[in-house]
Amino acid sequence: MSVFDDQWRDALQRLDVVFGEDFDLEPLTVPMVNGRPDVNARPVPDATRPAVTFRATYRDVGSTQYAKGRAMADNTTRKISADGPHIRLTPGADGSPHLAQNDRITRRATGERFRLGVPLARGRAGLQVPLIPITR
């Protein structure tokens, strides 16, 4: 990594301290049957990864945008984007916390629970992870 990358990561970690929130991670995995993942089974706790508390920046649902046309009502055009909730975090030097798709996290500030989606990007912007709300 370059000197810039190191300084950028340090700056993002300071931003996480100021703007971030605490989350509890409950690592989950797919159970194995005869050496293969059971695609129909519910995820079970993953004994290979510890449950940890980590700090990340939370972003809630954004607004829905509609295309604007001349003499067209908003309901006649399709939605352009609807951003869902996600977190941004800066992994530490050792790469922690180790997040995986379908892990469960709890937002400590509100008690909301989420299932992790597929991480979107890892790099200078940190790790962007979409969240799927758990309603039951």
| pLDDT recorded at residue 80 | 60
Whole-number average pLDDT of the chain: 80
> With pLDDT > 90 as the criterion, what percentage of the chain qualifies?
19
Confidence tier at 112 by pLDDT (50, 70, 90)? very high
26 near 105, Cβ under 8 Å? yes
Torsion of CA 121, 48, 50, 95, to 10 degrees: -30
| pLDDT band per the 50, 70, 90 thresholds, residue 106 | very high
Beta-carbon contacts of residue 10 (< 8 Å; ≥ 6 apart): none
The pTM of this model reads 0.74
pLDDT value at 93 more than 90: no
Residue 123 has pLDDT above 80, yes or no: no
